[in-house]
Structure 1
């Protein structure tokens, strides 16, 4: 269950490239824009900060489970399925909705740093295990934000 250093670095670089692109976009919004609803479904960008933080943490758990010999995503091991993941996401965002913007940013960056540390050391690391919770997830929500920005621009003009 070892990964070549070049492959590990390729995965980390992909995660960091997509992370940087997402964060640079998110940092362009003032607090009013961060709190505006209906950016992604009913979520605000502030809700998205919580959501990304949660799934970075989930990627860490996936690797921790894999290191113990359980290659299933943690959420499957916990009895969830694709349909109930949406319910999990909604409940998780709702639970964290009262966090301050500063706390959301702080926890987002803290969890991401923990993720990178895990990626740097985990013998269980593979792109397949984490792509959907990290680089692919960041890219997905970056597209959501860009669509919202385009709609906002059309409405404002």
Structure 2
């Protein structure tokens, strides 16, 4: 995926998430059930933590090192354990801190991606320790696919709470 295409996709996914979030009242952001027992605040922390891991992968790629984490190589048990560890790290944040951290982390990921050399986005897939995954694919997975999964879950949760409508 070319960098310009990746950046457009990141903007689109972020816009969809933020537009949906804007339909919620502050008190709704703290209600459980959006993703299992997690609230929107918890999902914000979860997404921030995964974007932070993606930023670490960018730093590793720049240094010619192995990625910190490749999601697809993890077992379900490993993924669940990691998600629980990240949840416990982020759950202490206030709603305001979770929101600010999410937006700051997303902007940092976007800016870091924009600053990457186009070749670096694709050449990592040729390195054995990247297991055939390009840095661009890893970024897209977090900044778009993962966020879209949670956007869809949030949309369903809102629809269920509001009798089928995601409108305010």
- What band does the TM-score fall into relative to the shorter chain? 0.7 to 0.9
Unaligned stretches of 5+ residues in structure 1: none
- Give SS of 2:162's match: helix
Q: What residue number does 1:29 align with? A: 24
CA RMSD between the two structures: 2.1
Structure 1 stretches of 4+ with a deviation exceeding 6 A read none
User: Which residue number corresponds to residue 127 of structure 2?
Assistant: none
Q: Distance in 1 between matches of 2:75 and 2:46?
A: 16
Instruction: Confirm whether residue 145 of structure 1 aligns to residue 139 of structure 2.
Output: no
Q: Give the match's secondary structure for 1:89.
A: helix
Aligned CA distance change for structure 1 residues 45 and 10 (closer, same or farther; 3 Å): same
Aligned counterparts of 1:112 and 1:36: Cα–Cα separation in 2: 23
1:154 pairs, out of 153, 159, 163, with 163
Cα shift at 1:71:
4.8
Higher relative contact order (CA 8 A, sep 6+): 1
SS in 2 for 1:10: helix
Contact 2:46 2:90 (8 Å CA) reproduced: no
Structure 1 residue 69, shift from structure 2 partner:
2.0
Asked if structure 2 preserves the Cα contact closer than 8 Å seen for 1:53 and 1:107, the reply is yes
**1:20-56 residue CA offsets vs partner (Å, 9 max, x unmatched):** 1101111221221111111111111110111111112
| TM-score (normalised: structure 2) | 0.79
Aligned pair count reads 147
TM-score by length of 1: 0.84
Q: Are residue 104 (structure 1) and residue 98 (structure 2) matched?
A: yes
Deviation (angstroms), 1:130: 1.3
Verify: 1:89 aligned to 2:92, yes or no.
Answer: no
Residue 132 of structure 2 corresponds to none
